[in-house]
A and B are shown apart, each in its own frame.
Chain A
Amino acid sequence: MAELLPTPSTATRVVADAPTGAPILALRGIRKSYPGVIALDGVDFDVRQGEVHGLVGENGAGKSTLLKIIGAVERADAGTIELDGRPIQLASPHAAQAAGIRVIHQEFNLFPALSVAENIAIDHLPSRHGVVDRRAVRDLARSARDRLGVALPLETRVDRLGVADQQLTEIARALSADARLLVMDEPTAALTEHEIDALFRIVRSLRDEGVGVIFVSHRMEEVLALSDRVTVLRDGRVVGETARPTREQIIRLMVGRDVSELYPDTSADIGGPALELDGLSVAGRFEDLSFTVRRGEVVGLAGVIGAGRTSVGLALFGLLRPTSGQVRLDGKPIEPRTAHEAVKLGIGYVPEDRKALGLVLALSLRHNETHPILPWLSRLGWIDKRRERLTVEERVAQLEIKASSIDARVSNLSGGNQQKVLLAKWLEIKPRVLILDEPTRGVDIGAKAEIYQIVADLAKSGVAILLISSDLPELLGLSDRVVVLREGRQLATLDRADAGQEHVLSLVTTGAAA
């Protein structure tokens, strides 16, 4: 039954399981191109009543574009959209909402200065004579929150929340409306196990009520656990659609080949201490951390969100002021007060949020890549553009960064390629220490393997690497040693051999060894 059928986009769909209901939304022959890229090339896709339809594909496969068209954020160049079997034009996101389509976007569309309750209720603020009824807002928000079964502070301003709570607010907002079709784009990226469980319970109960759900996630286990049907996109086309496929089948379809070995050999020659933390503390963030990263070594920082991992990176990069303790670089105490000073000392940082912190999206790949190295590419402030061009072209070829040219706007690159640009930036200056914060977040499997290879090569060249990652297999696959943080304290430092997945997972979540 669960045969995986590679379906040409023109062929009639063969659905293995009995249809759960009539299609709510059906897209036929959808095409969409952006300057230089065909994002969708004749895609057929539908969602039925009472089903969860998983949508997977590498970054750049066209998932986001498809969701934008469903949410009417973008318009297709060609193709038809049917709602309940009747062709419709979804003119605006508002029209899509009116038709019962609710999209939980990957990027949060929240109002930072408003409270959680107001954000949840924003799409249909209860009002009396034009005045917002605060009590009704709170009641509405509370019922949406309780339905989700999580602890969200309803009166707190959204910009004071962490990423996980912002994500929960976004989900609660979508749930507060009566959706017929719920679109979830990477909804679990920032959530804990407990919150994910709660979300899944809700999705299943909505499905049983007849709601159609489109579920997009990079986490294969989640797609497999939740979806009644999975569609795989590659290069803007549907390459397969089936009920309940296996993990291996999906991966093969996604990348077009078997992913045999994800993690490269990271056994670099480990040299002397490069970065030493000695009782380092930042009040309210983390306390009394002491560990060493040696030249050529990858040290992983394990911990759940809120354990203080990113704060450690920021403190080392001059963006948080340590309240006590010492940092030494090559034996000499350092106290960078700005990121600029940290870079001059030879510290690089690849931030977690590449769009907000990593890239200048309006500028080209070339400009983004050379920002940290302009002092090396210039004399008396005058840029040697020929050298710049050669440097970037060489690096783009080496890292197989896919772009129409080095002058392409970096916002037009896929997530994986953007992440490679971020890494390439630091390859040029050969930092002594490189801090990687979630280097493969939102990146597809193919690009992940390539990024892992880059990290391994950097270590081999003698760079001391501090790796922050929530992806435990990744952390254990790349790190020579793992420092476990819990609630801002250093719980353990494990060699790779001792760092079994269950062991570390148990430490980060419960604080006790398995």
Chain B
Amino acid sequence: MTGSGRASPEPLTSGASTAAAPRRWRLGVSIVDYGILIAFVVLSAALALLTPTFLTSGNILNVGRQVSIVAVLAAGQTFVILTAGIDLSVGSVLALSGAVAAGVAASVGWAPGIVAGLLIGAGAGLLSGLAITLLLVPDFVATLAMLSIARGATLIYTGGQPIGVAEGGLRFLGGGTIGPIPVPIIVMLVVFVVSIVVLRSTTFGRYVYATGGNRRAAAFSGIDVNRVRVLVYVVSGLLAGLAGVVLTGRLATADPQAGVGYELDSIAAVVLGGTSLFGGQGTVARTLLGALILGVLSNGMNLLDVSPFLQEVVKGIVIVIAVAFGNLEQLRHRALGA
């Protein structure tokens, strides 16, 4: 790491938003995203002016590390929301996966621990998906149930006590660095690159957009929509599991109360990114921007000593303003009409 001023922008912009690399734009960001990108840049610039610490490499890496957990959840949430579904269970599934990973790591080894954490997450997603498609439980209800079930299972598994994590691969996943970059940031970037590619270039990705855009038309095109709908919950569960494993490694302990309220943060990131809650429209690259805005906002408010209580209020207001801003074009039409 050399002079902090020069090196600092790299981690933050290394996602899909590097202005100097137009090809990157085609990875999923289009003209419409400039609004949210501008908001992100303005917010960052303002914080850079207002605080001496914001634009230091230490702080930027810190933001990246903090954002990575919610961003990974939000990537999975994007798949679900693109099919016009919703996954409210991700925070609890994160806690369950983290606890199981820590437990298995302690008794068997860190590698089986990581695998067990991921499988638990994917399994929870599978159950939600099957309840939605086979039992016809509305997605909101099914994942709300899973939120409760996974949290309860976590408390049962841990006996309500944190599980410590010894040195090893699990700790590296959460707390290690590769070069100057913390591993969680790398995990996050890999998750987003893979998600972008899956949504853009695979049949599954196309089926996700088709199912969310018009489920009945997708079925009439011969798409196995129930399979698609189950799979997006598996993806969301798997990524919640991954986030849980990373968080556990970072904190070196599995807290049974981890991830409370994260489902709302992940949904907020997706919505900030402009993905339609009605499905079929949006990209996962924009979700990353949404997560970054939330992360920078909360970091900035911490640096500015804003009370944590007030922070929650500001976050809510920012979400409303940002989404309204995204609808500016529509709003203007309506204003003209009125």
Q: Is the CB of A362 within 8 A of B281?
A: yes
- A305 proximal to B (CB < 8 A): no
Bound Cα distance from A344 to B213, whole angstroms? 22
Q: Is the CB of B222 within 8 A of A356?
A: no
Contacts of B213 in A (CB 8 A): 360-363
Contacts of A338 in B (CB 8 A): 219, 224, 226
**B206-231 interface (Cβ within 8 A of A):** 206-207, 209-210, 213-214, 216-227
Contacts of A319 in B (CB 8 A): 219
- B76 proximal to A (CB < 8 A): no
- A416 proximal to B (CB < 8 A): no
Bound Cα distance from A360 to B279, whole angstroms? 11
Count how many chain A residues have C-beta atoms less than 8 Å from C-beta atoms of the other chain: 34
Q: Give 1 or 0 for each of A333-349: 1 = CB within 8 Å of chain B CB.
A: 00000111011100001
- A324 proximal to B (CB < 8 A): no
Q: Is the CB of B220 within 8 A of A357?
A: yes
Q: Is the CB of A91 within 8 A of B337?
A: yes
Contacts of B280 in A (CB 8 A): 360, 362-363
Secondary structure of the B contact surface, majority rule: helix
With contacts A343-B222, A371-B218, A371-B221 taken as known, whether A360 is within 8 angstroms of B202 at the C-beta atoms is no
Interface centre among B209, B210, B220, B338, by most chain A C-beta atoms within 10 angstroms, is B220
Among candidates A91, A339, A382, A385, residue contacting B222 with C-beta atoms closer than 8 Å: A339
Contacts of A362 in B (CB 8 A): 213-214, 280-281
Bound Cα distance from A132 to B125, whole angstroms? 45
Q: Which residue of A lies closest to B216 (CB)?
A: A357
Q: Is the CB of B216 within 8 A of A371?
A: no
Q: Which residue of A lies closest to B219 (CB)?
A: A339
**A149-201 interface (Cβ within 8 A of B):** none
Closest Cβ–Cβ distance, residue B6 to chain A (whole Å): 38
Closest Cβ–Cβ distance, residue B4 to chain A (whole Å): 41
- B203 proximal to A (CB < 8 A): yes
With contacts A339-B222, A342-B222, A372-B221 taken as known, whether A356 is within 8 angstroms of B216 at the C-beta atoms is yes
Q: Give 1 or 0 for each of A284-324: 1 = CB within 8 Å of chain B CB.
A: 00000000000000000000000000000000010100000
Q: Which residue of A lies closest to B279 (CB)?
A: A362
Q: Is the CB of B222 within 8 A of A344?
A: yes
Q: Is the CB of A374 within 8 A of B338?
A: no
- B201 proximal to A (CB < 8 A): yes
Bound Cα distance from A75 to B227, whole angstroms? 43
Question: B residues engaging A (CB < 8 A)?
Answer: 201-204, 206-207, 209-210, 213-214, 216-227, 280-281, 336-338
- With A344-B222, A381-B203 already in contact, 5 other A-B pairs whose C-beta atoms are closer than 8 Å: A339-B222, A340-B222, A351-B220, A371-B206, A383-B201
Q: Is the CB of B206 within 8 A of A374?
A: yes
Contacts of B336 in A (CB 8 A): 75
- A249 proximal to B (CB < 8 A): no
Bound Cα distance from A357 to B215, whole angstroms? 8
Contacts of B201 in A (CB 8 A): 382-383, 385
Contacts of A317 in B (CB 8 A): 220
Q: Which residue of B lies closest to A90 (CB)?
A: B337
With contacts A75-B337, A382-B202 taken as known, whether A363 is within 8 angstroms of B222 at the C-beta atoms is no
Q: Is the CB of A360 within 8 A of B203?
A: no
Contacts of B225 in A (CB 8 A): 340
Contacts of B204 in A (CB 8 A): 381
- A511 proximal to B (CB < 8 A): no
Among all A-B residue pairs, the 9 with the closest Cβ atoms: A343-B222, A360-B213, A371-B221, A340-B224, A374-B203, A360-B214, A372-B222, A381-B202, A362-B213
Bound Cα distance from A356 to B221, whole angstroms? 12
Bound Cα distance from A8 to B273, whole angstroms? 49
Bound Cα distance from A356 to B204, whole angstroms? 22
Bound Cα distance from A434 to B67, whole angstroms? 51
- A378 proximal to B (CB < 8 A): yes
Closest Cβ–Cβ distance, residue B79 to chain A (whole Å): 15
- A234 proximal to B (CB < 8 A): no
Q: Is the CB of A367 within 8 A of B219?
A: no
With contacts A91-B337, A363-B209, A363-B280 taken as known, whether A375 is within 8 angstroms of B224 at the C-beta atoms is no
Contacts of A378 in B (CB 8 A): 202-203
Q: Can you list 26 A-B contacts with CB-CB less than 8 angstroms, sorted by A residue number?
A: A91-B338, A92-B337, A339-B219, A340-B222, A340-B224, A340-B227, A342-B222, A343-B222, A356-B216, A358-B220, A360-B217, A361-B214, A362-B281, A371-B206, A371-B210, A371-B218, A371-B221, A374-B203, A375-B203, A378-B202, A381-B202, A381-B203, A381-B204, A382-B202, A383-B202, A385-B201
- A359 proximal to B (CB < 8 A): yes
Closest Cβ–Cβ distance, residue A70 to chain B (whole Å): 15
Bound Cα distance from A362 to B282, whole angstroms? 11
Closest Cβ–Cβ distance, residue B219 to chain A (whole Å): 5
Bound Cα distance from A356 to B226, whole angstroms? 18
Among candidates A75, A361, A363, A371, residue contacting B223 with C-beta atoms closer than 8 Å: A371
- A425 proximal to B (CB < 8 A): yes
Closest Cβ–Cβ distance, residue B238 to chain A (whole Å): 16
Q: Is the CB of A359 within 8 A of B217?
A: yes
Contacts of A375 in B (CB 8 A): 203
Bound Cα distance from A191 to B222, whole angstroms? 31
Bound Cα distance from A349 to B222, whole angstroms? 9
Bound Cα distance from A481 to B224, whole angstroms? 33
Q: Is the CB of A357 within 8 A of B222?
A: no
Q: Is the CB of A360 within 8 A of B209?
A: yes
Among candidates B207, B209, B217, B223, residue contacting A356 with C-beta atoms closer than 8 Å: B217
Q: Which residue of B lies closest to A369 (CB)?
A: B221
Bound Cα distance from A349 to B220, whole angstroms? 7
Q: Which residue of B lies closest to A349 (CB)?
A: B220
Q: Which residue of B lies closest to A388 (CB)?
A: B206
Q: Which residue of B lies closest to A93 (CB)?
A: B337
Q: Is the CB of A371 within 8 A of B214?
A: no
Contacts of B338 in A (CB 8 A): 91-92
Contacts of A343 in B (CB 8 A): 221-222
With contacts A75-B336, A381-B202 taken as known, whether A340 is within 8 angstroms of B220 at the C-beta atoms is no
Closest Cβ–Cβ distance, residue B294 to chain A (whole Å): 26
Bound Cα distance from A378 to B207, whole angstroms? 13
Q: Which residue of B lies closest to A338 (CB)?
A: B224
Bound Cα distance from A358 to B223, whole angstroms? 12
Contacts of B224 in A (CB 8 A): 338, 340
Q: Give 1 or 0 for each of A462-498: 1 = CB within 8 Å of chain B CB.
A: 0000000000000000000000000000000000000
Bound Cα distance from A360 to B223, whole angstroms? 12
Bound Cα distance from A360 to B217, whole angstroms? 6
Contacts of A363 in B (CB 8 A): 209-210, 213, 280
